């Protein structure tokens, strides 16, 4: 613990203690009707009672944003950083860290986790979910392992879909615009108070970025189709069954990404020319299926019980033909790689250079010494044998063969949760869950790998006085492949008024390394081999997980304020935080550079502010800002975090059923690049006849900066992006 709080903590505390003098109209402690939040502790709570900060992106904001995917909606969350690996691959990170991975956020769809346990990521493009079906997104900002287990290390995103009764009738929606945007959506909802259902179908496509840093066309388009079915059954007056089924199929364009052992700068040798001519596409095909059910029983007004179960299966399929120097099948290179992956890579980089002044041994020894490795006599002998073999093949033909990066993941989970009010001052939530995961991939795992996770969780809420609220929660988790852990959280709220609270929160959280990091057995199986190689053969490259990685651990301290100035229509949340993550795995995880460890750490401190103001019947203004300072030991965790980021939103309702929105997003550093964009939208609604309406909308995005988006190759021809939408409800 820090003994002397940072200056912002002291200033915020002093400011908020004096708030009662600034809110005479809101200073009484009478009970008022408050909105409820579901995703913080699993208990229904008012915003001022949450042990942390929560951002709610409601239906109005979703519609006004004009966003076509969920990550773009999350730009409205303070401290949330959106990184594009390519146009069809998006990473969402709270507070940043690694620019190419998003390993530390739990993402739920109606309470079902879509976080992949096999590869520790969320595939936003393949989610079997349409934006039109979303009611709201609740984002808990800060560690929440106490409520949702490992992988909620830095926060939780819970995407909550609309109930069928809220969308009765038929809805059609179509969007078309620049950059190849073609989106369609259709749904029909029916039923009554006892049975209600909705079926929705959607298709989405775009062309991604226009060109790379060299001006070449960039092949990163997306084609996706989605289906959702939801049925809500009121079994008895106090008992419901909510069942859902979803499926998606997507194709993500991708380039030939095989990394050849040799890539000479001049490319003049016959072997190099043949390898360089071989550049087939390697698209990624995805299929997702999921079904889930939630049974809820209200035993009495103070006691609720629910059981949720789900099953899901996903496939990511990618196969293509590669060509390389026959030396990649050398026994000498395979032995050298087993002794030192770095030494094997440096043989390659030495051969690729022109105008060399060092010998091979001098070159490798220099790099191994800087990395703390010793260049042994055995390595020297093997490296020089590889050098001689490479020369033999330089004027010949390449070896070519088929490989794949196919992976299938399956999950089953059942969870029981009990909510009980023991007295007017005391409320208890408790529960347990069991999850089974299986991953199947001959490339990444040499077959199948299984894991099982059991959880026990609880949250106790005690309110001895109208001005004080105490909460204690925790999660015990046993991971078959990793071991057990316990994540506690303690929170104290002091209420300046009924809807104005000052909170103090201490939390510990963990993230379990995924199967890929810890248990990978990565090697490419060779099929249909052609070229000057005798069978049987195997590639030199091989990555093996250590099997003994420990969990990443966070300790977080927070002072915050949440207030609702009811008569002003103003809501304000301020979060001042100090977080430290230790035991981080931040190293590259490539087949020729696979070095996972728990050696990295990072410290965050800063202030996040969120203001939402309903400035009259026609106007809504929303401001967010995050100021983050950080110290990271790994260079890979220093690139995505922005020191300053935020958004400004203005929504206005004009006469004649016309709505407009204007949004600004900015960040001073996303992978060392500035980001600024203005989004605007205008919508006209027409009531054609009773029960039928037509909406027409024009959305426009304009980049104010001249930077690539996250990576050098992510470039557009124009900073302007325009698309039209039409919707019909009947």
pLDDT on residue 298: 96
Partners of 152 in the β-ladder: none
pLDDT on residue 262: 74
Strand order in the sheet with 112-113: 53-57, 134-141, 155-161, 106-109, 112-113
Q: What is the mean pLDDT of residues 469-482?
A: 96
Query: pLDDT tens across 281-293, in order?
Result: 999 999 999 999 9
State yes or no: pLDDT of 121 exceeds 90. Answer: no
pLDDT on residue 268: 66
Lowest-pLDDT choice from 54-63, 208-217, 503-512: 208-217
Say if CB 472 and CB 152 are below 8 A apart. Answer: no
Q: What is the mean pLDDT of residues 720-729?
A: 96
Q: What is the DSSP-derived secondary structure letter of residue 36?
A: -
Q: How far apart are the first and last CA of the chain?
A: 59
State yes or no: pLDDT of 14 exceeds 50. Answer: no
Instruction: Give the chain's length.
Output: 730
CA–CA separation, 140 vs 158, rounded Å? 8
Spacing of C-alpha 12 from chain mean position: 31
Instruction: List Cα–Cα distances, 216 to 76, 179, 181, 272, in angstroms.
Output: 33, 15, 20, 21
Q: What is the mean pLDDT of residues 169-181?
A: 96
Q: What is the mean pLDDT of residues 146-173?
A: 94
Query: pLDDT tens across 15-37, in order?
Result: 344 444 434 333 443 444 456 78
722 contacts: CB under 8 Å, gap ≥ 6: 177, 178, 698, 699, 700, 701
Query: pLDDT tens across 532-571, in order?
Result: 887 768 889 899 999 999 999 999 999 999 999 999 999 9
Domains along the chain with CATH numbers: 7-323+403-528+541-729 (2.40.170.20), 326-397 (no CATH)
CA–CA separation, 164 vs 200, rounded Å? 11
pLDDT on residue 277: 86
Q: What is the mean pLDDT of residues 75-100?
A: 88
Q: Angle at CA 19, nearest 5°, toward 17 and 22?
A: 155
CA–CA separation, 167 vs 585, rounded Å? 44
10 Å Cβ neighbour count for 464? Answer: 10
730 contacts: CB under 8 Å, gap ≥ 6: 169, 170, 691, 692, 693
State yes or no: pLDDT of 1 exceeds 50. Answer: no
Helix (H) or strand (E) holding 346: helix 341-352
Q: What is the mean pLDDT of residues 409-413?
A: 96
Helix (H) or strand (E) holding 190: strand 181-191
10 Å Cβ neighbour count for 263? Answer: 16
State yes or no: pLDDT of 366 exceeds 80. Answer: yes
Say if CB 471 and CB 460 are below 8 A apart. Answer: yes
Query: pLDDT tens across 238-252, in order?
Result: 999 999 999 999 999
Q: Would the CA dihedral through 564, 568, 570, 575 be positive or negative?
A: negative
17 backbone dihedrals φ, ψ, rounded to 5°: -65, -30
pLDDT on residue 265: 54
Instruction: Considering only residues 101 and 457, tell me which one the structure prediction assigns the higher pLDDT.
Output: 457
Token output for 341: 């992956």
Side-chain-side CA neighbours of residue 379 (13 Å): 22
Output the 3-class SS for 610-644: EEEEECCCCEEEEEEEEEEEEEECCHHHCCCCCCE
489 backbone dihedrals φ, ψ, rounded to 5°: -145, 135
Give the position of tokens 């984002």: 139
Query: pLDDT tens across 419-470, in order?
Result: 999 999 999 999 999 999 999 999 999 999 999 999 999 999 999 999 999 9
CA–CA separation, 31 vs 26, rounded Å? 11
- Identify the band that residue 669 occupies on the pLDDT scale cut at 50, 70 and 90: confident
Helix, strand, coil tally for the chain in percent (to 5): 15, 50, 35
Q: What is the mean pLDDT of residues 130-148?
A: 96
pLDDT on residue 361: 92
Instruction: Considering only residues 179 and 11, tell me which one the structure prediction assigns the higher pLDDT.
Output: 179
| Mean predicted lDDT score pLDDT of the chain | 90
Partners of 252 in the β-ladder: 222, 284
Q: What is the mean pLDDT of residues 145-162?
A: 94
pLDDT on residue 18: 43
């Amino acid at each position: 613990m820090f003994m002397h709080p940072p200056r912002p903590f002291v200033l915020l505390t002093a400011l908020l203690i004096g708030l009662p003098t600034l809110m005479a109209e809101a200073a009484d402690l009478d009970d008022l009707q408050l909105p409820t939040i579901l995703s913080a502790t699993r208990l229904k709570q008012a915003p001022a009672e949450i042990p942390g900060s929560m951002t709610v992106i409601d239906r109005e904001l979703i519609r006004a944003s004009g966003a076509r995917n969920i990550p773009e909606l999350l730009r409205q969350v303070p401290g949330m950083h959106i990184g594009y690996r390519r146009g069809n691959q998006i990473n969402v990170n709270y507070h940043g860290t690694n620019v190419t991975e998003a390993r530390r956020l739990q993402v739920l769809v109606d309470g079902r986790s879509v976080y992949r346990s096999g590869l520790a990521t969320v595939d936003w493009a393949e989610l079997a979910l349409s934006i039109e079906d979303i009611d709201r997104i609740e984002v808990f900002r800060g560690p929440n392992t106490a409520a949702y287990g490992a992988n909620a290390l830095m926060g939780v995103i819970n995407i909550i879909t609309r109930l069928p009764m809220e969308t009765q009738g038929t809805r059609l929606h179509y969007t078309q615009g620049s950059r190849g945007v073609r989106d369609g959506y259709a749904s029909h909802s029916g039923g009554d108070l006892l049975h209600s259902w909705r079926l929705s179908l959607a298709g989405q496509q775009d062309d991604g970025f226009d060109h790379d840093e060299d001006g070449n066309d960039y092949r990163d388009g997306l084609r996706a189709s989605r289906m959702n079915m939801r049925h809500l059954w009121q079994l008895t007056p106090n008992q419901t069954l909510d069942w859902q089924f979803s499926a998606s199929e997507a194709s993500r364009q991708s380039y030939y990404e095989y990394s050849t052992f040799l890539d000479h700068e001049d490319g003049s040798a016959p072997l190099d020319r043949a390898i360089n001519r071989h550049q087939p596409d390697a698209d990624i095909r995805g299929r997702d299926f999921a079904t889930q059910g939630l049974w809820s029983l209200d035993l009495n007004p103070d006691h609720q019980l629910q059981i949720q179960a789900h099953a899901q299966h996903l496939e990511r399929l990618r196969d293509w033909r590669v060509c390389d120097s026959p030396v990649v099948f050398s026994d000498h290179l395979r032995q050298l790689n087993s002794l030192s992956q770095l030494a094997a890579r440096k043989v390659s980089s030495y051969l690729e250079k022109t105008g060399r002044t060092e010998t091979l041994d001098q070159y490798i020894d220099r790099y191994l010494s800087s990395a703390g490795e010793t260049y042994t006599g055995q390595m020297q002998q093997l490296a020089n044998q590889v050098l001689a073999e490479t020369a033999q093949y330089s004027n010949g033909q390449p070896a070519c063969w088929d490989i794949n990066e196919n992976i299938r993941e399956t999950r089953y989970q059942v969870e029981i949760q009990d909510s009980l009010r023991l007295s007017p001052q005391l409320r208890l939530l408790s529960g347990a869950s069991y999850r089974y995961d299986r991953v199947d991939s001959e490339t990444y795992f040499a077959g199948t790998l299984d894991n099982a996770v059991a959880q026990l969780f609880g949250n106790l809420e005690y309110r001895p006085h109208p001005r004080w609220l105490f909460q204690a929660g925790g999660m015990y988790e046993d991971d078959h492949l990793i071991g057990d852990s316990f994540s506690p959280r303690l929170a104290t709220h002091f209420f300046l008024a009924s809807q104005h609270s000052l909170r103090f929160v201490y939390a510990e959280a963990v993230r379990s390394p995924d199967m890929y990091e810890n248990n990978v057995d990565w090697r490419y199986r060779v099929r249909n081999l052609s070229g000057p190689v005798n069978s049987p053969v195997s590639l030199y490259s091989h990555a093996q997980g250590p099997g003994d990685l420990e969990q990443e651990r966070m300790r977080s301290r927070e002072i915050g304020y949440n207030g609702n100035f009811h008569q002003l229509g103003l809501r304000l949340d301020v979060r001042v935080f100090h977080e430290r993550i230790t035991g981080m795995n931040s190293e590259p995880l490539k087949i020729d550079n696979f070095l996972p460890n728990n050696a990295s750490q990072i410290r965050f401190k800063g202030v996040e502010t969120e203001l939402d103001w309903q400035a009259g019947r026609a106007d809504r203004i929303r401001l967010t800002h995050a100021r983050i300072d950080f110290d990271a030991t790994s260079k890979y965790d220093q690139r995505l975090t922005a020191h300053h980021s935020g958004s400004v939103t203005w929504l206005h309702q004009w006469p004649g059923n016309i709505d407009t929105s204007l949004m600004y997003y900015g960040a001073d550093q996303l992978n060392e690049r500035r980001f600024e964009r203005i989004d605007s939208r205008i919508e006209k609604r027409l009531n054609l006849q009773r029960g039928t309406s037509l909406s027409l909308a024009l959305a426009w995005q304009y980049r104010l900066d001249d930077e690539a988006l996250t990576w050098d190759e992510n470039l557009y021809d124009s900073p302007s992006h325009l698309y039209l939408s039409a919707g019909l409800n009947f």
